[in-house]
Structure 1
Amino acid sequence: MEFGVTVASHGRWEVLTVTGEIDMATAPRFRQRLLAVIGTGAQNVVIDLSGVDFIDSTGLGVLMGGAKRVRSAGGDIRLVMAGSRLADLIELTRLDRVLDVFDSVSAAIEDSSS
């Protein structure tokens, strides 16, 4: 699957849906889109990784950098990984302890735990 990022607004949440692989070659495009969304003043961001087949350390770095920026502005960032093969990696790297992970976009935007 070819890499792509789409952005949609869902109420107070901006949802980035990512497809393909996030690696050294595609991470700069992912970072650019994420920073563009954050740059518009979005304080609540969901990143849907359900369509991502692979993510390397560069991609994980983009997620962490985005989380720092959003949280420093008083916002929230969440991951969606419905049926994703990335769950083991996210758990192994303990990213699930830093970012809230949900099974669907609707669950991520409806949850009021934060």
Structure 2
Amino acid sequence: MDLLLSARPGLGCTVVEVSGDLDMATSPQLRDSLQQLIDAGDRQVVVDLGGVGFMDSSALGTLVVMFKALRDVGGRLCLASVQPGVRRVLSITSVDRVVDIYDDVPGAEATCRPRTA
């Protein structure tokens, strides 16, 4: 299954909607997309994983690297709408103790600091 990514302005953040499997073949696409947002100045990113049913260790590594990249520039990455199988991977690896996970995108957006001009 191909990976589909789209970014849109959220409430005080950027929401990246992901659909498809996150694996060795597709995780570079996710990394590149998130890096482009960081390079463009985005500092609060919500990754909507509602359309992701499978995630392997390479995708997990990508999320952790991008979490750290945003943290290093004073930003924040969080996850929303995580499906049960993916949530299990995040829990087993204890990533859910570091990266904030929300039941849905509006819940994640509610924790984002408003953008200042």
The gaps in structure 2 that reach 5 residues or longer are: none
Q: Aligned residue for 2:26?
A: 26
1:30-70 deviation per Cα after TM superposition (whole angstroms, max 9, x unaligned)? 11111111111111000011110111111011101110111
The one-letter amino acid paired with 1:64 is: V
Structure with bigger strand share is 1
Q: Work out whether residues 3 and 22 of structure 1, in 8 Å CA contact, stay in contact via their aligned partners in 2.
A: yes
Q: TM-score, normalised by structure 1?
A: 0.91
Q: CA deviation at 1:84?
A: 4.1
Aligned residue runs from structure 1 range 6-85, under 5 A: 6-85=6-85
Q: TM-score, normalised by structure 2?
A: 0.89
Q: Work out whether residues 50 and 84 of structure 1, in 8 Å CA contact, stay in contact via their aligned partners in 2.
A: no
Runs (4+) of structure 1 exceeding 6 A deviation are: none
| Structure with the larger RCO, 1 or 2 (CA within 8 Å, 6+ apart) | 2
Q: Aligned residue for 1:94?
A: 94
Paired with 1:4 and 1:94, the residues of 2 have a C-alpha distance of 26
Paired with 1:21 and 1:112, the residues of 2 have a C-alpha distance of 27
The gaps in structure 1 that reach 5 residues or longer are: none
How much is the aligned-residue C-alpha RMSD, in angstroms?
1.6
